Amino acid sequence: MSSPSLVGIVLVSHSAEAARAVAGLATGLTGAGTDVPVEPAGGGPDGGFGTSSELIVAAARAVDRGAGVAVLADLGSAVLTVKALLADEELPAGTRLVDAPFLEGAVAAVVTASTGADLDAVSAAAADAYTYRKT
């Protein structure tokens, strides 16, 4: 393990493809050589659209390097499941649900995490993606 540890990012979507694609996009836009741990957790328990708490827990454990984990979620049950898991303390210590737009927030979070920024800074960068107006 190299020091200092990087913040881990978990991307929770109703769609396995969406979660995977956004993870790939965010990592790709961060540039070569990045070692930010990013894991998608997409789709429901039956593999269709939905939310799987097991995938979320596994993803959070996989990206936890001790510097905290930022979780971004898309809609409804994805958000509620993360909140319920946090309330039950079933996610690694230092895991946080970030209030951010899913795709733009993911890019901001991964880029910021790649600089070695802490969880507060990563969360703030992801949340700040809401302020980027397109018209």
Partner 1 sequence: MNATPDSEAPVDAAFVRRWLAAATDAVERDAAHLTELDSPIGDADHGTNMRRGFLAARTAVEQEQPQTPGAVLVLVGRTLISTVGGASGPLYGTLMRRAGKELGEEQAVPADRLRDALRAGVDGVAQLGGAAPGDKTMLDALVPALEALSGALDGGEDLARALAAAAAAAREGAQATTPLRARKGRASYLGERSIGHQDPGATSSALLVAAFADTAREGA
Among 15-23, 50-58, 102-110, 116-124, the segment contacting partner 1 (CB under 8 A): 50-58
Among 13, 30, 34, 51, binds partner 1 (CB under 8 A): 51
Burial of 23 (0-12, 13-18, 19+ CB in 10 A): buried
Shortest separation between residue 87's beta carbon and partner 1, angstroms: 7
In degrees, to the nearest 5, what angle opens at C-alpha 7 toward C-alphas 59 and 39?
A: 25
Contact with partner 1 (CB under 8 A) among 29, 45, 99, 130: 45
Cα Dmax for the chain:
44
Q: Which of 30, 34, 81, 95 binds partner 1 (CB under 8 A)?
A: 81
Tell me the number of residues near partner 1 by CB under 8 A: 20
Report, in Å, the least distance between residue 98 CB and partner 1: 17
Binding residue (CB under 8 A) for partner 1 from 28, 35, 76, 120: 76
Sheet holding 38-42, edge to edge: 38-42, 8-13, 69-73, 95-97
Q: How far apart are the first and last CA of the chain?
A: 44
- Beta strands 38-42; 8-13: pairing state: parallel
Q: Say whether residue 77 binds partner 1 (CB under 8 A).
A: yes
> Of residues 4, 17, 80, 130, which one binds partner 1 by CB under 8 A?
80
DSSP 1: -
- Could you list the residues that contact partner 1 (CB under 8 A)? 44-46, 48-54, 75-77, 80-81, 83-85, 87-88
